[in-house]
A and B are shown apart, each in its own frame.
Chain A
């Protein structure tokens, strides 16, 4: 992955470029109800990532041939703003975003009680306003909050995180530099309660031992990330209790 740089990604004290330890997350903040029109919405800021997720539905699936008579179809659309990355990205879907949309849709389907809404679709629109490594799992983490915000019945929360290998060491939640110049990248998402894996991808090189320790780091981190998801929703309902959404 990438070319080695002359920058040292981990210093002699084991600290990373941004001062984090190996199993430390970047700051994460989630807010709900950020959009007026959508049935549910959430915004996640995760390190430098800034991602808005909107949920519409369940509504009649269209075009009709996409309908499933037994369940709702989740259609996630992951899209990067032209200005979200260093070099301007040409607007519109490319092969990468099509793939990410697909794995996100599939991961969310595992959590939503899709069998309750046959013949419908649930649209999950994801807009990456600023990208800073780990956008797919940040999107997924926010999408599951947006679905809950839309009042869609779910069995469980989807929580994602990445781990990877940088200068021979396994670290959690890769930063942009680590993603570009590291040796492995492992994005993963699980159902929060059951721990079932609903998304896993990997590229780079990891030994079996390294893989195990990366997964352990992720599993531990998802507990912390889920707290943030939960608080975002609790905050919303507390506000309502205190007399209105504003």
Chain B
């Protein structure tokens, strides 16, 4: 990828990627259901209560988790609170601009949030200290520092890793406790190019596809969140293909990143 990646893909490159896909392989040599190399450093920011530095191919994100006490939402007085925020930093890509999040980064944050929230990964009931008055608030903040496609999966795996190690103090004077965790959701994002579905798109693949789908699943094989993005469409059988791919690929990711935790 040239350093002045402008979002425009040359016709030659586009044709090349399409031709390779016809023979079932990808421009960087991967199979359709193969992730790029995943490297995760846990506890990258010791000042945070949980953190991870994720490299998914050339995409790099830093996840930091802060856990502070605060008031619950009035309609869920017995539940702790979690929030997810993704900062697409201008350092990550030549055309990213500083300022309030745009619709892309809001969508990414919400898809990541939904996967973690809907799987009930964090046991929010256990984060209630005093019903209606005091609960723990889990702030999940993610810095995207280098962008080469598939932010959603990089963020989700970083959050899952960071939460698995995160600790909090319900009482400032008391002991540290591990964050109560029920399961480990993994998101797998796929794009459609031509009629092929491929997972973990790099930047060029993202640029030339017109439909994206993210399927987040837990280890029990249940689907916890889905999101289709971009202007293209999927057939029902392609959606099923995506779900199967998500389960297969997701199990591999879970094994790889959490092998030593579980």
Contacts and interface: CB of A to CB of B under 8 A. Distances in A.
Interface of A: 35-39, 41, 48, 50, 52-54, 56, 59, 77, 79, 81-88, 91-93, 123, 125, 127, 129-132
The 9 tightest CB contacts between A and B, nearest first, are A83-B64, A54-B91, A82-B141, A125-B91, A88-B66, A83-B48, A36-B58, A35-B146, A130-B45
A127 B143 contact: yes
A138 B89 CA distance: 19
Main SS of chain A's interface residues? loop
A92 B105 CA distance: 14
A127 B89 contact: yes
B146 A37 contact: yes
Contacts of A129: 44-45, 62, 64, 143
A131 B62 CA distance: 15
Nearest to A83: B64
B94 A56 contact: yes
A169 B30 CA distance: 61
A91 B68 contact: no
Contacts of A92: 100
Given A35-B145, A35-B146, A39-B3, A84 B94 contact: no
B108 interface: no
Nearest to A123: B90
14 contacts: A35-B60, A35-B145, A36-B1, A37-B92, A50-B45, A54-B91, A81-B143, A82-B139, A83-B64, A87-B68, A125-B98, A127-B91, A129-B62, A130-B47
A203 B68 CA distance: 31
B236 to A, nearest CB: 37
B51 to A, nearest CB: 7
Given A82-B139, A83-B139, A88-B66, 19 more contacts: A35-B60, A35-B91, A36-B60, A48-B46, A50-B45, A79-B98, A81-B45, A81-B143, A83-B45, A83-B64, A83-B66, A84-B45, A84-B64, A87-B66, A91-B87, A93-B98, A123-B90, A125-B90, A130-B45
B65 interface: yes
Contacts of A53: 91
Contacts of B93: 37
Given A37-B3, A52-B145, A81 B64 contact: yes
B204 interface: no
Contacts of A56: 90-91, 94
B147 interface: yes
Nearest to A150: B3
B39 interface: no
B148 interface: yes
A130 B46 contact: yes
Interface of B: 1, 3, 5, 44-48, 51, 58, 60, 62, 64-66, 68, 85, 87, 89-94, 98, 100, 139, 141, 143, 145-148
A82 B145 contact: no
A77 B90 contact: yes
Contacts of B5: 37
Contacts of A54: 91, 145
A83 B87 contact: no
A86 B47 contact: yes
A99 B229 CA distance: 39
A125 B141 CA distance: 18
A125 B58 CA distance: 19
Contacts of B141: 81-83, 88, 91
B154 to A, nearest CB: 13
Contacts of A125: 89-91, 98
B48 A38 contact: no
B91 A52 contact: yes
A224 B76 CA distance: 56
A77 B66 CA distance: 24
B219 to A, nearest CB: 27
A48 B212 CA distance: 40
A84 B47 contact: yes
Contacts of A132: 47
A103 B189 CA distance: 42
A53 B45 CA distance: 17
B145 A88 contact: no
A93 B90 CA distance: 13
